């Protein structure tokens, strides 16, 4: 969050954000904007498809693709400029200006619909794309100013929920209204009323100060776009996150573009079956987006990204296998399709592709917001919009090439699922933090059920030393997965070097240590790195026993922790791990890992005590604190 933020925030549960002025007006504003965009776009497509404005011509396919291109073009032309403007000026006011522009554009759209001029209709679509290009950087850039870091996943999940439900509703309303005998009037009325409602909602959005008021705005579409992309590419995690989001939009755009023909020619359905597929996909993304908050427990959990990527490929492949060899009928209604054999598997696969897509993109948006410097966040979002648009164009090119060489839609879906797996492997190799967090997330959400107490005792910022009892080889993973902030661990070098675990520990920048007599150089180097971590404001975790318990009881604490505090006097937070003794990863009943698994899927505890000032810490008092916490009821 920006230090100059003027809006006071109190952390609340996900859906309670919809009752908060700092979020609710913004949510309604962006939802109505997405709805209006899709009402107009799909009304225009319906006009073209039913030859209302192209009577006597055979160029409806060309016009539909031209319309799609005109909506995307402004993202290439204006995103770099819009990102600069969003960083330079107060964001709530910018949103109101954008919504005022929407009213004017919708008035033009109503005129174009009334006279049914194709050139005017396409011109309005270009203006709508321009308005969306200017809204995007403000839309995502304002969230960290109004939400606590622990609420970013919840907020982004609600945004994606609203966006995709608005896309679904706008598609249905725009298509159905314009398909009626006198559709121009109801569509026009909806467009105007929704635009006005969006502006009124935007007036309630709280003040969001400019993050870079001294920024000099330059407008040169080509050079500024290239400059923006090069600058963002220098920030590895942010740029790889943008590439991952853009890949999802390529994937999603490819599925959505093929659904109409897939529903008609492959499944044998009517337009209602296409609507059913669109609904399954959109509801899946909406549900996956809001479930991210529950699965991440209030942190920006990038471990969900590999989970989402795996689901996208697995259910993308199953959709290929579920696709029938011959159509299930001819012009089937939604009910007839649902009753046909194999239909439920197709719908379930489409729904699950959307669901795992939600798991995939929400943490990525939250990660960009969390890691970007406040003064350049909107420009990072602008770069994201540019690459999203580029990848959506590439999705159309890829689909055209596949279909041109004679591939079926099922084969196109197969190629997408395989390519998704390859792209995921590339991204996770470039940014191993994603896969590391996934392994930790998997551990604490499958093998164990963690009951946490006192997590609020770990400060949200600033250097802090965490100490815990040492029960098993996965203690660091459990702690790292539950503490919201990144944790630097100090661990015995032989544990640090364990296969598989070493990848996780290296990625988490753990600090290996040896005994003073065992390796004096490593011992001294470890203390130097500990002080560097605390001086940088990190969370440092030490297991003061110096070894994993062999009998389930706590060992004496070693004095190394006092040496750390002597040079870096920071608050100390005691933590007790419960329930891990007797697990596969402990030494009860034999060496860890080499015995019959026990206590899998068990409930374990994490008790966090109040922070102790450095000057009051002694080995005896610290041992007593952890021992007392360890004895509390699980």
349 contact partners, CB below 8 Å, separation of at least 6: 315, 316, 318, 319, 322
Residues facing 491 on adjacent strands: 512
Tell me the per-residue pLDDT of 83-105, one tens digit each, with 9 for 90 and over.
Answer: 999 999 999 999 999 999 999 99
CB–CB of 472/580 below 8 Å? yes
Residue 47 pLDDT grade (very low, low, confident, very high; cuts 50, 70, 90): confident
Averaged confidence pLDDT in the chain: 87
* More reliable by pLDDT, 504 or 350: 350
Say whether pLDDT at 13 is over 80: no
pLDDT at 385: 92
Among 41-55, 269-283, 402-416, whose mean pLDDT is lowest?
41-55
Place of tokens 């969006």: 198
Distance CA 387, CA 461 (A): 33
Residue 56 pLDDT grade (very low, low, confident, very high; cuts 50, 70, 90): very low
pLDDT at 107: 95
Among 222-231, 416-425, 476-485, 495-504, whose mean pLDDT is lowest?
495-504
Q: Look at residue 195 and give its three-state secondary structure.
A: helix
From first CA to last CA, the distance across the chain in angstroms is 35
Distance CA 432, CA 612 (A): 34
pLDDT at 50: 58
- For 513, how many CA atoms within 13 A lie in the half-sphere containing its CB? 23
Place of tokens 């009892």: 469
Tell me the per-residue pLDDT of 235-247, one tens digit each, with 9 for 90 and over.
Answer: 888 998 999 999 9
pLDDT at 10: 44
Distance CA 278, CA 167 (A): 9
CA distances from 355 to 17, 164, 290, 295, 349 (A): 22, 12, 10, 13, 10
pLDDT at 633: 64
pLDDT at 7: 40
Q: Mean pLDDT, to the nearest integer, of 477-497?
A: 86
Q: How buried is 421 (Cβ within 10 angstroms: 0-12 exposed, 13-18 middle, 19+ buried)?
A: middle
Q: Is 597 left (phi over 0), alpha (psi -120 to 50) or beta?
A: beta
pLDDT at 3: 38
Query: In degrees rounded to 5, what are phi and psi of residue 166?
Result: -65, -40
* Alpha helix ranges (H) inside 372-432: 377-404, 409-430
Buried-state track 121-132, b at ≥16 Cβ within 10 A, e below 16: bbbbbbbbbbbb
Say whether pLDDT at 306 is over 80: yes
Q: How many residues does the chain have?
A: 634
CB–CB of 583/598 below 8 Å? yes
Say whether pLDDT at 231 is over 60: yes
Query: In degrees rounded to 5, what are phi and psi of residue 537?
Result: 85, 20
Say whether pLDDT at 59 is over 70: no
Distance CA 173, CA 186 (A): 10
Residue 69 pLDDT grade (very low, low, confident, very high; cuts 50, 70, 90): confident
Distance CA 366, CA 328 (A): 42
Tell me the per-residue pLDDT of 108-167, one tens digit each, with 9 for 90 and over.
Answer: 999 998 888 888 989 999 999 999 999 999 999 999 999 988 888 889 999 999 999 999
Among 182-191, 494-503, 622-631, whose mean pLDDT is lowest?
494-503
Which domains does the chain show, CATH number per domain? 10-218 (1.20.1250.20), 220-431 (1.20.1250.20), 443-630 (3.40.1130.10)
Tell me the per-residue pLDDT of 505-536, one tens digit each, with 9 for 90 and over.
Answer: 887 888 999 888 889 999 999 999 999 999 99
Task: Show the 3-state SS of 5-57.
Answer: CCCCCCCCCCHHHHHCCCCHHHHHHHHHHHHHHHHHHHHHHHHHHCCCCCCCC
Say whether pLDDT at 446 is over 50: yes
Residues facing 467 on adjacent strands: 542, 574
Say whether pLDDT at 196 is over 70: yes
Encoded tokens for 398: 């890829």
Place of tokens 């044998």: 268
Place of tokens 């359905």: 269
Distance CA 540, CA 264 (A): 58
Distance CA 247, CA 398 (A): 13
Q: Mean pLDDT, to the nearest integer, of 284-308?
A: 87
Buried-state track 589-627, b at ≥16 Cβ within 10 A, e below 16: eeebeeeeeebeeeebbbbbbebbebeebeeeebbebbe
pLDDT at 344: 93
Q: Mean pLDDT, to the nearest integer, of 201-227?
A: 90
pLDDT at 264: 87
Q: Mean pLDDT, to the nearest integer, of 42-50?
A: 75
Tell me the per-residue pLDDT of 337-370, one tens digit each, with 9 for 90 and over.
Answer: 999 888 999 999 999 999 999 999 999 999 999 8
The angle, 0 to 180 degrees and rounded to 10, between the axes of the packed helices 619-630 and 560-567 is 110
Q: What percent of the chain has pLDDT over 90?
A: 51
pLDDT at 157: 92
Residue 623 pLDDT grade (very low, low, confident, very high; cuts 50, 70, 90): very high
CB–CB of 268/329 below 8 Å? yes
DSSP secondary structure of 270-309: -HHHHHHHHHHHHHHHHHHHHHHHHHHTTS--TTHHHHHH
Tell me the per-residue pLDDT of 540-561, one tens digit each, with 9 for 90 and over.
Answer: 999 998 888 888 889 899 998 9
Distance CA 267, CA 350 (A): 13
Encoded tokens for 234: 């220098």
Say whether pLDDT at 57 is over 70: no
189 contact partners, CB below 8 Å, separation of at least 6: none
Distance CA 128, CA 39 (A): 12
Q: Mean pLDDT, to the nearest integer, of 461-487?
A: 88
Say whether pLDDT at 8 is over 50: no
Distance CA 475, CA 450 (A): 12
Say whether pLDDT at 270 is over 70: yes
Q: Mean pLDDT, to the nearest integer, of 53-78?
A: 71
pLDDT at 4: 39
Tell me the per-residue pLDDT of 559-616, one tens digit each, with 9 for 90 and over.
Answer: 989 999 999 999 999 999 998 887 777 777 766 666 566 655 678 889 999 999 999 9
Q: Look at residue 626 and give its three-state secondary structure.
A: helix
CA distances from 601 to 132, 447, 462, 556, 584 (A): 47, 4, 34, 30, 11
How do beta strands 487-492 and 511-513 pair?
parallel
pLDDT at 440: 79
């Amino acid at each position: 969050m920006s230090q100059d933020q003027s809006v006071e925030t109190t952390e609340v549960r996900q859906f309670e954000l919809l009752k908060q002025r700092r979020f609710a007006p913004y949510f309604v504003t962006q939802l109505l904007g997405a709805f209006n965009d899709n009402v107009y776009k799909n009304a225009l497509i319906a006009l073209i498809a039913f030859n209302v404005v192209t009577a006597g011509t055979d160029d409806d396919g060309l016009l539909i693709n031209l319309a799609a291109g005109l909506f995307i073009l402004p993202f290439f032309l204006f995103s770099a400029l819009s990102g600069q403007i969003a960083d330079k000026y107060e964001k709530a006011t910018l949103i109101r200006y954008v919504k005022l522009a929407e009213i004017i554009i919708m008035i033009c759209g109503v005129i174009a619909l009334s006279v049914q001029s194709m050139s005017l209709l396409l011109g309005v679509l270009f203006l709508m794309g321009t308005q969306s290009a200017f809204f995007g950087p403000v839309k995502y850039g304002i969230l960290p100013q109004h939400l606590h870091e622990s609420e970013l996943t919840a907020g982004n999940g609600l945004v994606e929920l609203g966006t995709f439900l608005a896309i679904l509703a706008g598609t249905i309303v725009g298509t159905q209204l314009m398909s009626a005998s006198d559709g121009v009037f109801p569509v026009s009325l909806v467009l105007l009323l929704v635009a006005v409602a969006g502006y009124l909602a935007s007036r309630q959005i709280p003040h969001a100060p400019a993050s870079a008021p001294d920024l000099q705005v330059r407008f040169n579409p080509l050079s500024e776009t290239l400059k923006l992309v090069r600058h963002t590419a220098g920030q590895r995690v942010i740029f790889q996150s943008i590439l991952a989001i853009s890949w999802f939009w390529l994937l999603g755009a490819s599925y959505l573009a093929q659904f109409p023909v897939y529903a008609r020619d492959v499944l044998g359905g009517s337009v209602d079956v296409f609507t059913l597929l669109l609904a399954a996909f959109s509801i899946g993304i909406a549900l996956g987006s809001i479930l991210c908050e529950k699965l991440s427990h209030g942190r920006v959990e990038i471990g969900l990204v590999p989970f989402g990527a795996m689901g996208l490929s697995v259910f993308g492949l199953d959709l290929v296998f579920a696709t029938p060899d011959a159509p299930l009928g001819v012009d089937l209604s939604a009910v007839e399709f649902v009753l046909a054999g194999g239909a439920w598997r197709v719908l379930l696969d489409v729904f699950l592709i959307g669901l795992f897509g939600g798991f995939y993109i929400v943490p990525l948006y939250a990660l960009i917001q969390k890691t970007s410097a406040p003064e350049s966040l909107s420009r990072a979002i602008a770069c994201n919009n540019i690459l999203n648009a580029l990848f959506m164009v590439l999705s159309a090119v890829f689909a055209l090439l596949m279909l041109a060489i004679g591939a079926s839609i099922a084969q196109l879906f197969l190629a997408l699922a395989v390519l998704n797996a390859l792209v995921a492997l590339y991204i996770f190799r470039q940014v191993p933090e994603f896969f590391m967090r996934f392994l930790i997330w998997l551990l604490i959400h499958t093998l164990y059920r963690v009951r946490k107490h006192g997590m609020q005792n770990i400060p949200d910022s600033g250097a802090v030393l965490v100490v815990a009892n040492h029960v098993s080889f996965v203690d660091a993973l459990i702690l790292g997965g539950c503490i919201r902030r990144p944790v630097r661990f100090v661990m015995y070098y032989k544990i640090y070097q364990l296969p598989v675990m070493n990848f996780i520990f290296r990625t988490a920048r753990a600090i290996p240590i040896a005994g003073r007599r065992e390796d004096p150089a490593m011992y001294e180097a470890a203390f130097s790195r500990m002080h560097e971590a605390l001086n940088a404001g990190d969370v440092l975790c030490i297991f003061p026993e110096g070894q994993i318990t062999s009998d389930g009881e706590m060992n004496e604490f070693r004095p190394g922790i006092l040496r750390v505090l002597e040079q870096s006097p920071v608050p100390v937070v005691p933590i007790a791990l419960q329930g891990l003794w007797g697990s596969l990863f402990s030494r009860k009943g034999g060496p860890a890992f080499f015995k019959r698994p026990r206590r899998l899927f068990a409930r374990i505890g994490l008790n966090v005590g109040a922070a102790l000032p450095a000057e009051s810490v002694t080995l005896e008092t610290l041992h007593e604190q952890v021992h007392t916490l360890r004895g509390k009821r699980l």
